[in-house]
Structure 1
Amino acid sequence: MSKEEESCSKCLHACRRRIEIRNFSNFASDMFSDIEIQRRVEKRTEASTSEVFSHDKRRRTETLDTPLLATPTALSPESLSSFSTASSDGETQFLATASSSSLVLPAVTPILFGSVSLSGRAREMEDAISVQPEFFRTQDGSTRLHFFAVFDGHGGSHVSALCKEKMHTVLAEELAALAAEEMDEHVWRSAVKRCFVRMDHLALSACACGRVGQPLCRCERSGIESEIVGSTAVVSIISEGSLLVANCGDSRAVLSRGGKAVPLSSDHKPDRPDELARIEAAGGRVIFVNGARVHGILAMSRALGDKYLKPVVTSEPEFFIRERTPEDECLILASDGLWDVLSNELACSVARKCLAEGGPALSTEDISSTSSAAEEANVNDGQKPEARCSMAAALLARLALGRRSTDNISVIVIDLRKR
């Protein structure tokens, strides 16, 4: 074979090889392309499945994480020393969740309330407010109780602050201890009376520095500074069918029923005939110094704390129990900073107008210190019921300030209307 033929043969062989390589390359490219496409499809399908699973998981997690018992708020109470509004919306949410999971629970009407607490023209803030919707319920859920209280401190604020922090907890413990019995008037009285006894012991063992239950506290504020501190307490326990008021001191509870003011407490003043007799029987005296005072010092005959005046000044509360009726409109609990300058009738009239549909808006520019205050307020038809409760409390406090109240002013307005 000549060199030319050999060269031509090599050229043809190389050409065929290039063609084979090119064909194989195209085949491989197509093969890998198909594999890549298949891989992408599988990946997309997998991602879609993962997304569906993830979404379903989130949905199930949200359902599982939904609390069965939501804590109420007004109501968080935001700081109750300023302003709060609430309804037991937590229970409404609970019932909605329960119905979706086929649980059967007794229907509960949310309780609406508003509160305000002001230092007013006093130098120190010694008042305290406690609002605890559904603080206690029986095991079967048939009885649910709401706790409302106003504490008016004197000589300092640590006893009223202690009552705000502890009293509803102590009362719940006492009610739980009697839970085997039917929740009737006798049980309520017994539990509340024992609660006041325990709270008085705590108040007597509390030091002005904040320590509780340490009678031998040796801080610089122990001794007389802690012994002259006390607090009133007006407490209301409300259920679906009844309300109880326990009062110790000169704070007051007034019920608005059928357009009339119904007092649910009686101020414990030293010159009240029965209180005067009790004080003298205990070896005490009532001396008139800027009004009737126990030993010329304390302007009330009952209070929590006040160690230096025991046993003349007692912590035993007086009870008033009423069945709720369709005529009930609202309940007002307030310290004497309000009641010293406002009559029961005027306070109830203002609260009723605030709670009514189209009641007065929260505008105090045109409010005078006369009995026509509620009549002169502006009208706002679009306010929610819970907002009207807060509006009523704030309006009453503002009216007391306008009438030159010199004490702390604390007010709770509770809507008792059936909805």
Structure 2
Amino acid sequence: MAEICCGLVNESEASPPCESSSRSARRRRLEIRRIKFVPGVTPLEAENGVKRPRFELCSAGSIPRLCDNAVDSCDGSEAEVAVESGHRKILLPAGLPKYGMASVCGRRRDMEDAVAVHPWFCRMDRENNNELHYFAVYDGHGCSHVAMKCKERLHELVKEELEKKEASADWKQAMEQSFSRMDKEAIAWNESVVRGSCRCELQTPECDAVGSTAVVAIVTPDKIIVANCGDSRAVLCRNGKAIPLSNDHKPDRPDELNRIQEAGGRVIYWEGPRVLGVLSMSRAIGDNYLKPYVICEPEVTITDRTPEDDCLILGSDGLWDVVSNDTACGVARMCLNGKRRRPSSPEKDVGVDNSDKVCSDASMLLTKLALARRSSDNVSVVVVDLKKAT
């Protein structure tokens, strides 16, 4: 947290006119006061004369819609969260993967990102306790309601598709079907939206120009399944090296460009490549007015986990536009390793993890790095510690 010096005194506190020429008088007129500066606070956000910080703590697995910025973390045994009435503790079952997430509005006027974390959202093999953990980042455009619908529903659709398979899951088919169902639900909901029922700025009652990217990671004891639709991204940090688990769907990507042109669409360069000169991504959930050029079919990757895996990073393009994969992995790994090795007291051995918010610190550090590099978009980051996940 940085500190700046500012502040003025009123006329009654100023020095008499006879001292106007002295250096001490000028100092008294312009009194310098030290105050703490919280990133993201603007004068317009002052309530009752008190500035409200834009970073707020939220309970595990939850980011309120009205919260411009949110931070969440879990250490796998016990997490402490801040609420308006004070501090309380919630107990979480043992074995929960350690994760942290940060979501900030940044320099955008509205917050259109959404983050979803659902530990143990599905069990594939009840005999072997093959638990599945769900992590996702949704980056909305046009308005936030499609991203919020994905946050509320997509994990449930994925669970339904997976439960149809009794023994083993066909991950590609399950994820593609889930995204297709989510797309249909989002479009149907858009068509039923009444003008003024949300903060969508479109002038048409059918919010056809609203959509969202989706990058979903399902962590199992031995695999990481990533389904990506849009330009959000998943990156695995393995033995200090960045391994991309998704490929951004940009309109100028050769295969995407060919697909769009074969469907009769065009890619127009307007402050970058855009589908019909409008959308800067070639795949998304929603955006009915751009179909069939913009599709909702995700690309699915399945990666075997190894003991060398450090962490998994999910992020919206607000992060990846200004931070490279290698830099993000280096920052997260440095943060995680530093906290693991730092003893909280002389009696404790070096190498013991003494931080309850290791991943939260890593996600927040990446968010602050993106803002420091002048990211112009919302920034959402999820960091999952694969050393502890089961």
Shift of the alpha carbon at 1:146? 0.3
* Distance in 2 separating the partners of 1:190 and 1:223: 35
After superposition, the C-alpha distances for 1:97-140 in whole angstroms (9 at most, x for unaligned) are xxxxxxxxxxxx43110000000000010000000011001333
Contact 1:88 1:133 in 2 (8 A): no
2:110 matches 1:124: yes
Q: Which runs of 5+ in 2 are unaligned?
A: 1-57, 79-90, 198-202, 343-349
Aligned residue for 2:154, secondary structure, equals: helix
| Higher strand fraction (1 or 2) | 2
Partner residue in 2 for 1:190:
173
Cα shift at 1:189:
1.7
Contact 1:127–1:153 (Cα < 8 Å) also in 2: yes
TM-score by length of 2: 0.73
CA gap 1:94/1:275 in 2 versus in 1, 3 angstroms: closer
Q: CA offsets, 1:169-206, max 9 Å, x none?
A: 1111111111x1224xxx22221111101000011112
| Alpha carbons of structure 1 residues 136 and 162: separation in structure 2 relative to 1, 3 Å | same
Question: Aligned partners of 1:281 and 1:339: how far apart in 2?
Answer: 29
Q: Within 5 Å, which residues of 2 pair with 1:63-142?
A: 76-79=60-63, 82-89=70-77, 109-138=95-124, 139-142=126-129
Whole-angstrom distance in 2 between the partners of 1:388 and 1:272? 36
Instruction: State the AA in 2 paired with 1:321.
Output: I
The offset of 1:264, in angstroms, is 0.7
Query: Which structure has the greater CA radius of gyration?
Result: 1
1:386 and 1:177 mapped to 2: Cα distance?
Answer: 37
Pick aligned residue for 1:239 from 208, 216, 220: 220
For 2:371, give the aligned amino acid: L
Is 1:114–1:393's contact at 8 Å kept on the other side of the alignment? yes
Q: Could you say what secondary structure the match of 1:205 adopts?
A: helix
How many percent identity over aligned positions?
A: 49
Unaligned runs of 5+ in 1: 1-73, 96-108, 208-214, 362-379
Asked if structure 1 preserves the Cα contact closer than 8 Å seen for 2:193 and 2:207, the reply is: no
* Superposition pairs of residues 232-271 of structure 1, within 5 angstroms: 232-271=213-252
By how many angstroms is 1:217 displaced?
5.2
Q: Could you tell me whether the CA contact under 8 Å between 2:230 and 2:281 is conserved in 1?
A: yes
- For 1:344 and 1:360, the matched residues in 2 are separated by 24
Correspondence list, 1:397-408, <5 A: 397-408=367-378
Letter of the aligned partner of 1:411 in structure 2? V
Cα pair 2:339 2:355 within 8 Å, conserved: no
1:315 maps onto 2:296 in alignment: yes
Aligned pair 1:149/2:136, yes or no?
yes
Q: Amino acid of the residue matched to residue 98 of structure 2?
A: L
1:273 paired to 2:235: no
1-structure distance, mates of 2:123, 2:255: 36
| Distance in structure 2 (CA, Å) of the matches to 1:300 and 1:93 | 38
- Amino acid in structure 1 at the alignment position of 2:71: F
Matches within 5 A, 1:276-355: 276-355=257-336
Contact 1:113–1:389 (Cα < 8 Å) also in 2:
yes
For residues 328 and 354 of structure 1, the distance between their equivalents in structure 2, rounded to whole angstroms, comes to 15
Structure with the higher fraction of residues in helix conformation = 1
Question: Which residue number in structure 2 is paired with residue 211 of structure 1?
Answer: none
Q: Which amino acid aligns with 1:195?
A: S
Which is further off, 115-124 or 78-87?
78-87
Q: TM-score normalized by structure 1?
A: 0.68
Matched residue type, 1:135: F
Instruction: Report the alpha carbon displacement of residue 86 of structure 1 after superposing the two structures with TM.
Output: 1.2
RMSD of the TM alignment (CA)?
Answer: 2.5
Residues in 1 aligned to 2:133 and 2:320: alpha-carbon distance in whole angstroms: 24
Counterpart position of 1:41: none
Q: How far does residue 229 in structure 1 lie from its aligned partner after superposition?
A: 0.3
Using a 3 Å threshold, how does the CA distance of structure 1 residues 129 and 93 change in structure 2: closer, same or farther?
Answer: closer
In structure 2, distance between residues paired with 1:394 and 1:250 = 21
